Copies of this chain bind each other. A is one copy, B any other.
């Protein structure tokens, strides 16, 4: 994963923190909680982290997989662009180890409610992850 190349290709300046965030997320299979990013990237000012996460989100590089108990979990996007955001896959949180992962299962759920117009549907599954199941 060449974060610099990807940034350039999509018209963003290559900066240290952008490369670092993308590489940190790419190095993990799971979505990472903000607090973990904060710790791992503490060499950068936290305001910069904050603003960079906003930009990378806006530009379709990353998305918030889950927000729970005041903790936000971030993951790389697979197919988003600045103009097209598409996160209609399932998010899973393990109740044991608190890891969060994107399950790349297309969310085909289609709700229809009288009088309201639904644009997007988010599905969050909770349970026990494979690692925790093995550790039983």
Residues of A bordering B, CB below 8 Å: 67-70, 90, 92, 94-95, 103, 105, 109, 111, 113, 115-130, 133
Contact = CB atoms under 8 A, between A and B. Distances in A.
Contacts of A124: 121-124
A128 B119 contact: yes
For this chain, the copies found in one complex come to 2
Contact of A125 (B68, B92, B120, B125): B120
B115 A130 contact: yes
Contacts of A133: 115-117
A119 B126 contact: yes
Given A67-B67, A103-B113, A118 B126 contact: yes
A111 B69 CA distance: 24
Contacts of A69: 67
24 contacts: A67-B67, A67-B69, A70-B70, A90-B111, A92-B116, A105-B111, A105-B113, A109-B123, A115-B130, A115-B133, A116-B127, A116-B129, A116-B130, A116-B133, A117-B133, A118-B126, A119-B126, A121-B123, A121-B125, A121-B126, A122-B124, A122-B125, A122-B126, A123-B123
